[in-house]
Structure 1
């Protein structure tokens, strides 16, 4: 009997937008779908936990694998810490390295090669520090850092929080951000949480722009970046001390330029291994994992009736909510 190819169903949206399954590049046998009518066929069902309000009407079929997907810090979405909800999932797909399917913000090897070869742009802005801060989440104390540091050194802030500058010309999103940051000596890369492994695009955007990141976030950031490539705000006893160090770098070009020395060297072995682990696209690794667990279990799925893990009340309320918001069912 030929082996049945896995079917992976994305049951929820991703921050209210459907997952773009048409763009997934995966040459492994199997199929990705958004069609909830095929849930009985699905080998694995993926639920984006920040969209947990879309989950309540899901039927669970015997032998299925349910996967909880999130890339947000647990402090930002406390539902991730809700054991009553999370016990329904067999595996996790997240930025946490303890997840069965690891999906970090860490860029792939091609990105690192491109950034290392990219020239450092001229620092033409009068202010030495730039910030793009829009969300109010402050579990790391980042809003306090931004406000207090600005008392000691000039910061151009383009985000919704503490805004004192606006971008020149049309705002083309991330491209405009990178171009803007490239004109500054330093860029505030402030995470909203200090949880382990939570290193987001903020750090990597600064690298790409050719600006020295001033990082606030997880204590294991050193695992995700070359040594000597960023300034860790946690290393300073006060904002005044941090500002004094930045001013020293401004008037000491050789000390400032040392923060770009990593670009002319291979990635450190530990970081290179992480990048290698991350290199296959996340949905490729998802399908690879589904193959692995399916092979371990065998092809036969147990017989039995589907269940409503979250109960009839959650089923009805979820269906009504989707109907009102016109979310596909």
Structure 2
């Protein structure tokens, strides 16, 4: 009898485990059913234009950029479904947003598309990353898509990583007004000189080049006053969560300058959150490498950033940063944009797509040669300087 007790206990534990597992599976199926049917009910009702992001769940930074300003006031008469479930009826949607590396022309959504449906090609990645890192080709894409949706200004649906009006709007949510007193209060928090946060430590040619820049800065007049956070440095990496982002921004706010180094060199209009969120929003003067100065000046005022192309060497840049650190008057000149009009918040991303769907006067269009538009319309350096 004594020998049988362990077997009985093991049997009971197994039965309990199976019972708990069954309950969990029923719960998951129930929640999925309710969620799917709730969306189906919304799809079947009203005259809203319905947009489907035809992809799995996107990274939060990409999803948030797509949805910038997407609400009932700025983007009326539109409904968004962010994840794709196979039992949706694709006939219910008016527009599909296809992530560039998730396109499959053999998918039924392409073979069963309706004449009124807009197919939107979306890429948050730089041209060189799409070409070389993802090794992405666009064979047979002629006239498949109706609209392009990228960070580039020549896109049909401009989806930038940030804009100056947006930064000013967020600053005004933090402070009652952007005055000289407010600026002085913010600048008093800055106890350190220069910081860089990065996780791509050499996956692309551009990422390798910026590591060389950082190494050279470490051996310049700046010396050990450059702090590197993330996987590319010896300081902590921030979690890819809202709490992690808040912690990162708090750290950056204590620095005078931020290295806004992109992972691609001279790719048209590729200006990411490194410039907008990490730098300007935290009142850390961005030191820019990657986009051309001309591209930056299309979207940000002169005197709001320091561009590395303006210096003959890294050593010269380092000497200039040391000078600004010792000269408060010269340093504060980089915040003159705080006190100037920045324009109005214009619809971008999905909000812009919504306005296109609501435009009853729009004429049918297709992207005749997507590969030519995306690759050949970029700067020469983008596809040659970044080539592996």
Q: Specify if TM > 0.5.
A: yes
Write out per-residue CA displacement over residues 216-244 of structure 1, whole angstroms, 9 at most, x where no aligned residue.
12111112222111110111111111111
Aligned: 1:292 with 2:359: yes
* Distance of 2:273 and 2:101 partners within structure 1: 19
Q: Which consecutive unaligned segments of at least 5 residues does structure 1 have?
A: 298-329
Aligned-residue offset at 1:157: 0.5
Aligned twin of 1:176 = 247
The alignment partner of 1:8 has SS state of strand
User: Is residue 167–residue 280 contact of structure 2 (8 Å, CA) maintained in 1?
Assistant: no
Distance 1:74 1:282 in 2: 18
| 2:109 corresponding residue in structure 1 | 59
In the alignment, structure 1 residue 133 sits paired with structure 2 residue 192: no
Deviation for aligned residue 1:90: 2.2
1:29 to 1:265, Cα distance in 2 relative to 1, 3 A: closer
Query: Is the partner of 1:92 in helix, strand or coil?
Result: strand
Instruction: Name the structure with the higher helix share.
Output: 2
**1:1-329 mapped onto 2 (5 Å cutoff):** 5-15=48-58, 24-26=70-72, 27-33=75-81, 34-36=84-86, 37-52=88-103, 57-60=107-110, 61-63=113-115, 64-78=117-131, 82-84=137-139, 86-87=141-142, 88-107=144-163, 109=165, 111-115=167-171, 117=178, 119=183, 120-126=186-192, 128-136=193-201, 137-140=203-206, 141-152=209-220, 153=222, 154=224, 155-161=226-232, 163-166=233-236, 172-193=243-264, 194-204=266-276, 205-219=278-292, 220-267=295-342, 272=343, 276=344, 279-280=346-347, 282-292=349-359, 296=363
**TM-superposition CA deviations, 1:123-145 (whole Å, max 9, x none):** 5545x211101113444432221
- Structure number with greater Rg is 2
- 1:326 maps to what in 2? none
What is the alpha-carbon distance in structure 1 between the residues aligned to residue 119 and residue 330 of structure 2? 51
CA contact (8 A) 1:95 1:102 kept: yes
Counterpart Cα distance in 2 of 1:294 and 1:19? 29
SS of match in other structure, 1:296: coil
8 Å CA contact retained: 2:230, 2:237: no
69 and 109 in structure 1: CA distance in 2 versus 1, 3 angstrom threshold: same
Q: Displacement of 1:109 after TM fit?
A: 2.8
Distance in 1 (CA, whole Å) between partners of 2:90 and 2:287 is 46
Point out the more displaced range, 189-198 or 30-39: 30-39
| TM-score, with length taken from structure 1 | 0.74
How far apart are the structure 2 equivalents of 1:90 and 1:171? 34
TM-superposed deviation, 1:171: 9.2
1:132-187 deviations in Å (ceiling 9; x for gaps): 011134444322211211111231101211x132379x993221111111111211
TM (norm. structure 2) is 0.64
Match of 1:76, SS state, is helix
State the shift of 1:198 in Å: 0.8
Tell me the SS of whatever aligns to 2:258.
strand
Determine if contact 2:164/2:300 at 8 Å carries over to the other structure: no
CA apart distance, 1:73:
0.6
Q: How far apart in 2 are the matches of 1:286 and 1:96?
A: 15
Q: CA separation in 2, counterparts of 1:103 and 1:171?
A: 21
1:64-104 residue CA offsets vs partner (Å, 9 max, x unmatched): 32111122111112269623164332211111111111111
The total of aligned residue pairs comes to 283
| Large movers: runs of 4+ above 6 Å | 16-21
Is contact 1:182-1:209 (8 Å) kept?
yes
Cα offset for 1:32? 2.9
Unaligned runs of 5+ in 2: 1-45, 173-177, 365-388
